[in-house]
Structure 1
Amino acid sequence: MQNSDIFSLLKATGTDSRLLDIAEKALKGERISFDEGVTLYREGEIPFLSMLSNAVRQRINDEYVYFNRNFHIEPTNICESHCSFCSYRRDAGEEGSWEHSLNDIRRKAESYVGKDLTEVHIVGAVHPDRDLFYYADLVKTVKSVLPDIHIKGFTAVEVDAMIKKSGLSLEEGLQTLKKAGLDSMPGGGAEIFDEKTRARICPDKTDTAGWLKIHETAHRLGIPSNATMLYGLIETYEHRIDHMNRLRDLQDQTNGFNTFIPLKFRHSNNAFSHIAESTTMEDLKNYAVARIFLDNIPHLKAYWPMIGKSVAQLSLAFGVDDLDGTIDDSTKIYSMAGAEEQNPSASTDELVKMIKTAGKVPVERDTLYNIVRRFD
């Protein structure tokens, strides 16, 4: 469908003139403003947001929906931070805690030899006693077993803590990790950038300026990354747009973000268990607004282990063009918080079927979105 036809359909529905002005800009590929982003959240109806975000997605990514073959390594959940929304962290010796040795990591990697995977995603907690050199050795261990695997590892929060423990500068620390075999970084730890809200939910975590600086430095050193946003907790629509606006500004400078991943707050087993989780309609609205607002980040991911496969499939009509990967039941971060998928694993065939059923073209990718295989 042509953009002019989409605009005519939106106009025929009696859509408010302010929303039509925003739609016209977005359909032309023009950047929408902060206030216009908030207006989309507050006034955009679901059919309008679906149609507009889908048109934006199609302009950027055609009908392709991406996934990869990956697994996770989570070295530890023993953490020196005390984020009030977290269901994952434990103290050393506490029931449910774990702390894998390098030999454990080696055995985990060895279990994937010959399985034709392209990525390992390594994230965990901010361990009080493990520094940069330990994690550099961890990366080297994985590469020694799986030399062709792409290592996407360590949130900015983990990087900040491990480098400070090692007495190196940020640039020296990231260069050390890159030399060890780190290929890219995930986008975790961003939570919400509004400083007052961040101080309430994660007061002892790397601050907003620090998170952005770490990713800016990584990009400058040739380490691409992703970006996330925690939503559905105590933030406002203005906070969400502020968060995405800061990412958009950094992307203008570095062009180092591959994908944006909204992360739904799950309320089991944490200090905010009294807060109701966002509805599916709110989840879909959030994806749509993100796709329309973030004009310079090429991909938008729905992390299916967090929201469930059915909602992830619905999100493909709201601007999403990536479903993450096969995962192989190798992550506990969201299952411990009550996510839909308690044993997250999906076969290639299952992901292909989900995408085709939604009317899109499944594409297996590598971490940097190079096409490995199309399933036309």
Structure 2
Amino acid sequence: MDASIQPILEKALLDERLDYDDGLTLFKSYDLLSIGNAADLIRKRIHPEPYVTYIVDRNINYTNVCHVDCDFCAFYRHMKDLEAYTLSRQVLGQKIQETIDLGGVQILLQGGLHPRLKLGWYEDLLRWIKANYDIHIHGFSPPELDWFAKINKISLIETLTRLRDAGLGSIPGGGAEILTDHARDTISPKKCTAAEWLEVMRQGHLVQLKSSATMMYGHVESYGERVEHLLRLRDLQDETGGFTAFICWSLQPNNTRLEHMPASGSFEYLKTLAISRLMLDNIPNFQSSW
């Protein structure tokens, strides 16, 4: 075992909370087997059952129109682009029904930050879905929700309450990327700040909307920024208890302005996942990305 991480892993296995320096030391280590084994032991304490669970759901991107031009995104289009779209109710309904027919119980409803759609459009959409389909709506990432409040000139709490009352069931954790101002200012300067992302989740949890939390790594961030990201999630979870799951994934650079960056491999993914399990002692579930 890497001698530098042994006391840190022992600390975690004694249920002592890891700090910034602990996390940074783990990220600098290449001893994946020891880190992974400790994370697995922690997992078994939280989930002693000899199986993992899943649900059948579907990602539905209701629009690809977005005005924030993130460097890492290959999805967005501007309103006048030929490939820009906003799905019709007919197409949305077809996608939802296909999901239900395959045993699906949830849709993940996300899109770009559309400059024209107002909150009433989203409320009507949610009500229409709930009136016609028996399915849970896991919808609208924090950047979307932050944008809805800003474009409608209303508070976050009003935005979230109105969407909840219209049928929103929970909030996906997308758009977190790395929760530091340096990383966000570099790759997504027009998107909500780290503090704004966290505030959306804080207010969402306040109105009983549970959520997931995410991290996209492998771009401009340092190991220290990954640790800072995890600590910010942990602090908010201490405050609200509203995160049900954590999901991490690596930058997918193809067809983006970050295409020059090398893609992270499986070693870095497994190490990041394991360290996150050790650091995030208060988030019960870890979820795979797709």
CA change 1:183–1:20 in 2 (3 A) is same
Alpha-carbon distance between aligned partners in 1 of 2:206 and 2:83, rounded to the nearest angstrom: 38
8 A Cα contact 2:39 2:277, kept in partner: yes
8 A Cα contact 1:133 1:166, kept in partner: no
CA change 1:281–1:113 in 2 (3 A) is closer
CA change 1:19–1:29 in 2 (3 A) is same
8 A Cα contact 1:106 1:141, kept in partner: no
* 1:266-305 alignment runs, 5 A limit: 266-303=252-289, 305=290
Indicate yes or no: 2:97 matched with 1:126: no
CA change 1:111–1:47 in 2 (3 A) is closer
Moved beyond 6 Å, runs of 4+: none
SS in structure 2 at match of 1:122: strand
8 A Cα contact 2:96 2:107, kept in partner: no
SS in structure 2 at match of 1:67: coil
SS in structure 2 at match of 1:161: helix
Name the counterpart of 2:17: 31
1:95-147, CA deviations, whole angstroms, 9 ceiling, x for partnerless residues? 43221123432333344454432111101111111121111111112111213
State which drifts further: 245-254 or 35-44. Answer: 35-44
Indicate yes or no: 2:229 matched with 1:243: yes
8 A Cα contact 2:177 2:214, kept in partner: yes
| Amino acid across the alignment from 2:288 | A
1:285-315, CA deviations, whole angstroms, 9 ceiling, x for partnerless residues? 1111111111111111221x3xxxxxxxxxx
Name the counterpart of 1:209: 195
Name the counterpart of 1:349: none
| Amino acid across the alignment from 1:163 | A
Give the superposition deviation at 1:240: 0.2
CA change 1:220–1:234 in 2 (3 A) is same
* 1:77-96 alignment runs, 5 A limit: 77-96=64-83
8 A Cα contact 1:105 1:141, kept in partner: no
* 1:215-230 alignment runs, 5 A limit: 215-230=201-216
8 A Cα contact 2:71 2:256, kept in partner: yes
Alpha-carbon distance between aligned partners in 2 of 1:134 and 1:181, rounded to the nearest angstrom: 13
Alpha-carbon distance between aligned partners in 1 of 2:263 and 2:95, rounded to the nearest angstrom: 34
* 1:57-206 alignment runs, 5 A limit: 57-62=43-48, 63-147=50-134, 149-206=135-192
| Amino acid across the alignment from 2:163 | L
Name the counterpart of 1:319: none
| Amino acid across the alignment from 2:287 | K
| Amino acid across the alignment from 2:230 | M
Indicate yes or no: 2:41 matched with 1:41: no
Alpha-carbon distance between aligned partners in 2 of 1:232 and 1:302, rounded to the nearest angstrom: 17
| Amino acid across the alignment from 2:120 | F
State which drifts further: 63-72 or 107-116. Answer: 107-116
SS in structure 2 at match of 1:48: helix
CA change 1:113–1:36 in 2 (3 A) is closer
What is the RMSD of the two structures over their aligned residues, measured on CA atoms? 1.4
8 A Cα contact 1:22 1:32, kept in partner: yes
Give the fraction of aligned pairs with identical amino acids, expressed as a percent: 35
Give the superposition deviation at 1:208: 0.8
Give the superposition deviation at 1:194: 1.3
Query: Unaligned 5+ residue runs, structure 2?
Result: none
Give the superposition deviation at 1:161: 1.0
1:258-294, CA deviations, whole angstroms, 9 ceiling, x for partnerless residues? 1111121011101010000112111111111111111
8 A Cα contact 2:61 2:111, kept in partner: yes
Name the counterpart of 2:251: 265
8 A Cα contact 2:9 2:35, kept in partner: no
CA change 1:294–1:96 in 2 (3 A) is same
Alpha-carbon distance between aligned partners in 1 of 2:100 and 2:225, rounded to the nearest angstrom: 44
Alpha-carbon distance between aligned partners in 1 of 2:105 and 2:138, rounded to the nearest angstrom: 10
Alpha-carbon distance between aligned partners in 2 of 1:54 and 1:109, rounded to the nearest angstrom: 36
* 1:348-359 alignment runs, 5 A limit: none
SS in structure 2 at match of 1:183: coil
Alpha-carbon distance between aligned partners in 2 of 1:61 and 1:195, rounded to the nearest angstrom: 34
